[in-house]
Amino acid sequence: MNLKQLSHMLALSQTTVSRALNGYPEVNEETRRRVIDAAKRHGYRPNPSARRLATGKTGMIGYVLPTGTTVDIDPHFVEFLSGLGDYARSHELDLVLSPADADDQETTYRRIVANRQVDAVYISSPRPVDRRVALVSTLGIPFIVHGRSDGLDFDYPFTDIDNEGAFHEAARLLVQLGHRRLALINGDDRETFAIHRERGVRRALAASGLVLGEGHVCSLAMTEENGYRAARRLLEQSDAPTAIACSSLIMALGVVRAVRDLGLTIPGDLSLIAHDDVFPWLKPENFSVPLSTTRSSIRLAGARVAERLAARIAGLEEGARGEVWPVDLVVRGSVAGAPG
Amino acid sequence: MNLKQLSHMLALSQTTVSRALNGYPEVNEETRRRVIDAAKRHGYRPNPSARRLATGKTGMIGYVLPTGTTVDIDPHFVEFLSGLGDYARSHELDLVLSPADADDQETTYRRIVANRQVDAVYISSPRPVDRRVALVSTLGIPFIVHGRSDGLDFDYPFTDIDNEGAFHEAARLLVQLGHRRLALINGDDRETFAIHRERGVRRALAASGLVLGEGHVCSLAMTEENGYRAARRLLEQSDAPTAIACSSLIMALGVVRAVRDLGLTIPGDLSLIAHDDVFPWLKPENFSVPLSTTRSSIRLAGARVAERLAARIAGLEEGARGEVWPVDLVVRGSVAGAPG
DNA sequence: AGAGTCTTCCAAAGCGCTTTGGCGCTCCCG
DNA sequence: CGGGAGCGCCAAAGCGCTTTGGAAGACTCT
């Protein structure tokens, strides 16, 4: 059932039917009703390929998915996706994932824009001076960055959480509790979020005349194993930290295991605070010692990004407004005063 | 740069240029070379919307993403996606995720097929007599089911792992080690994989004249918390199991925590085997007591599904062939002879 | 009553590609 | 040298929608 058939059976022109369906004003309400009714009754659905060809609108938002046998999409992605999908569903948007070589995502961004495959794109896990952000903003397609890229000489729209503030708060609390030797087990420090977190910790320490020791910061992919290794390394050195801030719940699992292996306890020997992106399947309150966290739902962020993307597509949002969400510091049993 | 412009500047017809580019035989090799060269030099890329309108081919594979505020996409999805993306990338396929109400995915499948939005779809987490499978197969779009749906009165193409065999092997090993009271901490038993796993365990027990006790099987969403709760419940009852088979590594985390909370040890008081889908961020060998697992890479499955989908789109694969992959049983420190 | 203004609808021209049907040319063979 | 076969190419017709540029009819106003 296409426009032609439908208009023919209504004894109207395709123009009128199209306009009636798309809410254009120059059609009689009575006629519109008739058309809409008939369309519904015959299950007419405009062919999106044709519509796209004519309008350029696709009803899709794009994301370039970094892939490669050595590349791991991390589990945060799925939570973000849940939120994004949730919003997208209610607005009839689809999401197209274009897999790309992790080291060359730009070609793919170019392609999907040149091909007008999507109405908007988002970018995640940005790094400082991120070339994708630069590229996409010159390409002139609506976009939102989830996170931030520093050092760019132009503004761009983003939604980020206050990573620096969160880790500043966490570190400040630890310092207030008397800790003098803090360590940071961070994510990949080529990513902005990790840099911001480190900055937050350093700033808090500096406020009390302390520093983050040379060997007291680790930047690794956020796996349980890396959390374990980092913690072992930190805790076995002579000036072992008495408190650790950790960038992920998954890494924190490894930290807890290391602590146990070394015969230490939390929070007796070590205070621990981790960042919690709010996974349904792993909760900080369920750690053997309930884990203090800086908490921010990545799922909500996904929904927000989708919302802004939709607004931009509709022309309701413009400009380079960046928003930074505050992060909750949730104190649980894993922190205590410094030992000794 | 479109076909018209390109053909004009080559002083050829659009037809010839199109054919040259698409590898049709009726064009002189010399001409073809010229055309391809010019296309490359001018960065010509056929407009996919137009091509789609003309051919019906989209170069995309579809997936209906169940969403809803109460619906959690589980982290397995992201690993599957990695594999799928990996293959898709090398074959210039994109993936479109259409979010849908988790309770009504069929409408969305209908839509994407009717709209010819994608060349093929896949279905995951199938249940017995899954209506999506029935629907999609009548819709006549190429598809692959990741997993299996039992009780359908027709065949369909799927790629699954031998869940029954895996848990049969696991349970058999435990029985051989002298365990008489086994328990199963399973995933949601509305899904086929969980049913198959339970069947595997029961079959192994039956072979030795044993049964899976009434209170010895739990079916829950695969979260750490549920693993913990299930394990507590099992271990605190009077006829507590001496061995547990567990459907997920994440749940196993909870089991381990419960065991510790109860002052028990693995494998002294309890033997534990879990299914490992092979996450890069959580490895069974890194559990405090290295975890025995039934192992099967869900990532590889993703790549395989993509491969079959591509083959079907190209008309290289037909029929309802189902493939069932064997699962490795990897024995580590978490199993031992039955206590007492 | 005639002119002007809306209102409501239509025919037709794209959007950029593929594909059908056919045409002219060369080549080979009897 | 004439005719049939192939080769290489082209013009034009879609694919199904939106949108431009009217046009016919109804209505208002003077």
Substitution target from B223, B224, B228, B232 for chain A, most A beta carbons within 10 A? B224
Nearest 10 degrees: Cα torsion A301, B302, B111, A20: 50
Q: According to the model, what pLDDT value does residue A291 have? A: 98
Mean pLDDT of A225-244: 97
Q: According to the model, what pLDDT value does residue B306 have? A: 97
Is residue A340 scored above 90 in pLDDT?
A: no
The verdict on a CB contact (< 8 Å) between B86 and A68 is yes
Burial (CB count within 10 angstroms: exposed 0-12, middle 13-18, buried 19+), residue B232: middle
B72: which chain A residues are within 8 Å (Cβ-Cβ)? 82, 280-281
Q: According to the model, what pLDDT value does residue A72 have? A: 80
Model confidence pLDDT, tens digit, residues B77-99: 999 999 999 999 999 899 999 99
Is residue A97 scored above 90 in pLDDT?
A: yes
Q: According to the model, what pLDDT value does residue A92 have? A: 86
Is the N-terminal amide bond of A142 cis, ω within 30° of 0?
no
Q: According to the model, what pLDDT value does residue B45 have? A: 87
Mean pLDDT of A302-307: 97
| DSSP result, A213-249 | -GGGEEE--S-HHHHHHHHHHHHHSTT--SEEEES-H
User: Closest residue to C20 by CA to C1' distance?
Assistant: B15
Cβ atoms of B223 and B257 within 8 Å: the answer is: no
The verdict on a CB contact (< 8 Å) between B101 and A94 is no
Cβ atoms of A185 and A218 within 8 Å: the answer is: yes
B288: which chain A residues are within 8 Å (Cβ-Cβ)? 257, 260-261
**pLDDT band for position A114 (50/70/90)?**
confident
Model confidence pLDDT, tens digit, residues B250-270: 999 999 999 999 999 999 999
The verdict on a CB contact (< 8 Å) between A261 and B114 is no
Q: According to the model, what pLDDT value does residue A127 have? A: 97
Q: Which of A16, A21, A69 is nearest to A42 (CA)?
A: A21
For B27, the token pair is 């064009």
Burial (CB count within 10 angstroms: exposed 0-12, middle 13-18, buried 19+), residue A70: exposed
Backbone angles phi, psi at B330, to 5 degrees: -110, 115
Mean pLDDT of B226-240: 97
**Nearest residue in A to B285, CA atom:** A225
Is residue A192 scored above 90 in pLDDT?
A: yes
Is residue B2 scored above 90 in pLDDT?
A: no
Is residue B301 scored above 90 in pLDDT?
A: yes
**pLDDT band for position B248 (50/70/90)?**
very high
Q: According to the model, what pLDDT value does residue B340 have? A: 80
Is residue B283 scored above 90 in pLDDT?
A: yes
CA-based nearest distance B18→chain A, Å: 17
Mean pLDDT of B141-169: 97
Task: State percent of chain B over pLDDT 70.
Answer: 100
**pLDDT band for position B26 (50/70/90)?**
confident
Distance B6 CA to D11 C1' (A): 17
Model confidence pLDDT, tens digit, residues B312-328: 998 899 999 999 999 99
**pLDDT band for position B69 (50/70/90)?**
confident
Map residue A338 onto helix, strand or coil: coil
Candidate from B79, B99, B111 with C-beta closest to A85: B99
- What rounded mean pLDDT belongs to chain A? 94
Is residue A284 scored above 90 in pLDDT?
A: yes
Q: According to the model, what pLDDT value does residue A55 have? A: 87
Cβ atoms of A146 and A301 within 8 Å: the answer is: yes
What is the residue whose two structure tokens read 């500047």? B9
Question: What does the alpha-carbon distance between residue A320 and residue A323 come to, in Å, rounded to a whole number?
Answer: 10
Q: According to the model, what pLDDT value does residue B175 have? A: 98
- The neighbouring-strand residues paired with A325 are A161
**pLDDT band for position A180 (50/70/90)?**
very high
Question: What does the alpha-carbon distance between residue A117 and residue A96 come to, in Å, rounded to a whole number?
Answer: 9
Is residue B150 scored above 90 in pLDDT?
A: yes
**pLDDT band for position A296 (50/70/90)?**
very high
Mean pLDDT of A265-277: 98
The verdict on a CB contact (< 8 Å) between B82 and A95 is no
The verdict on a CB contact (< 8 Å) between A67 and B53 is no
Question: What does the alpha-carbon distance between residue A299 and residue A87 come to, in Å, rounded to a whole number?
Answer: 11
Question: What does the alpha-carbon distance between residue A298 and residue A75 come to, in Å, rounded to a whole number?
Answer: 11
- What rounded mean pLDDT belongs to chain B? 94
pLDDT-wise least confident of A69-73, A86-90, B287-291, B335-339: A69-73
Question: What does the alpha-carbon distance between residue A243 and residue A174 come to, in Å, rounded to a whole number?
Answer: 7
Candidate from A88, A99, A282 with C-beta closest to B89: A99
Q: According to the model, what pLDDT value does residue A132 have? A: 97
Q: According to the model, what pLDDT value does residue B53 have? A: 85
Chain C nucleotides with an atom closer than 7 Å to a protein C-beta: 7-22
Mean pLDDT of A9-14: 89
For A185, the token pair is 């087990």
Is residue B72 scored above 90 in pLDDT?
A: no
**pLDDT band for position A314 (50/70/90)?**
confident
The verdict on a CB contact (< 8 Å) between B281 and A45 is no
Q: According to the model, what pLDDT value does residue B48 have? A: 85
Residue B22 CB: number of other CB atoms within 10 A? Answer: 11
Cα angle B332, B337, B340 (rounded to 5 degrees) comes to 145
Q: According to the model, what pLDDT value does residue B315 have? A: 86
Name the most confidently modeled range: A55-69, A117-131, B26-40: A117-131
**pLDDT band for position B274 (50/70/90)?**
very high
Mean pLDDT of A112-118: 88
Hits for CB < 7 Å against strand D across A residues 25-64: 26, 44-47, 50-51, 53-55
Model confidence pLDDT, tens digit, residues A39-63: 999 988 888 889 888 888 899 999 9
